[in-house]
Amino acid sequence: MDQLRKKAYGKINLALDVIGRRDDGYHLVKMIMQTVELHDELSFEKTTDGSVSMTTNDSTLPVNDDNLCIKAAKLLKDEFHLTEGVNIHLEKNIPVAAGMAGGSTDAAAVLKAVNEMFELGLSDEDLMERGLSLGADIPYCIMGGTALSEGIGEELTKISPMPKVALLIAKPPVNVSTGKVYTTLDSLESYEHPDIDGMVRSIEEKNIKEICNTMGNVLADVTMPMVKEVEQLRDTMLSFGADGAMMTGSGPTVFGIFTDEVALDKCYLDLKEKNVCERLYKTFVL
């Protein structure tokens, strides 16, 4: 196989809690992860000279060893002493540094693609183990679907699939440093923890109302006071009839769950007209 194409899906957090910190500084989390249809597209071509390289439509991204795509390809090339290499083209659609695991999902797609193209025979578990050395969210991106993520993100438990609802995803024109969000969280004496077990139950019962009532993200309490647009986007979505709306990851992206797709369309048009989003997508839960 000399050529291959793959979709790399983004994620949202239906709930996100931080329950501690390891001695090495990594935070211990409890998160409910959900794959969404919004995706990047990657195409792969073998190179006979052994080179690993990439191009992308997003000029803000590095195309050298700093890109997780290159890191992932080189990790397998080095381990398996591959004499051939790979050229990757990344068509970026998932907003960057926005709490949707965009880089991690690309890395997951590269690990899968190199495994297939070079017939390495690695299982998903094997790829997840290697992915973890590049990023805490990569094992989840290999697995996909609806999952409880614990530890630093590597302890994954699949839960029954989330009902297939429509989503509006909006990223304000602001960037948030994940590091700063976590440092600020560490400085808080206490904060309210979302009910992760309640969320698992609500998803298993396929109760969208309860899922929306139980949504919570401890990082939103930190990001919201820093980025007023997060609260504004959430409130706009709720005022247009979203069943629930919340920030994903460390933000600043906000997603709205809409069982009423007419309401979703109206909200989409309103936000488009007001021109308050850097990125705005209609998508759905996968």
The residues that are catalytic are: 11, 137
| Position 178 contacts ligand ATP (CB under 6 A) | yes
What's the rounded Cα separation, in Å, for the pair 255 and 28?
24
Shortest distance, position 73 Cβ to ligand ATP, whole Å: 11
Compare residues 67 and 263 and give the one whose CB is closer to ligand ATP. 67
Tell me which stretch binds ligand ATP (CB under 6 A): 81-89, 91-99, 187-195, 234-242. Answer: 91-99
Q: Which of residues 133-172 bind ligand ATP (CB under 6 A)?
A: 137
Other residues' Cβ atoms within 10 Å of the Cβ of residue 146: 20
| Position 131 contacts ligand ATP (CB under 6 A) | no
Is 184 in a helix, a strand, or coil?
A: helix
Do the beta carbons of residue 244 and residue 211 sit within 8 Å? yes
Shortest distance, position 199 Cβ to ligand ATP, whole Å: 18
What's the rounded Cα separation, in Å, for the pair 278 and 256?
16
Q: How many CA atoms lie within 13 A of 279 on its CB side?
A: 20
Shortest distance, position 130 Cβ to ligand ATP, whole Å: 16
| Position 69 contacts ligand ATP (CB under 6 A) | yes
Residues β-bridged to residue 8? 40
Helix ranges (H only) for the chain are: 68-79, 102-117, 124-132, 138-143, 178-187, 196-204, 208-214, 218-226, 228-239, 261-274
| Position 106 contacts ligand ATP (CB under 6 A) | yes
Q: Which of residues 213-272 bind ligand ATP (CB under 6 A)?
A: 249-250
Tell me which stretch binds ligand ATP (CB under 6 A): 63-71, 114-122, 217-225, 262-270. Answer: 63-71
* Contact residues: ligand ATP, CB under 6 A: 61, 67-69, 96-104, 106, 137, 178, 249-250
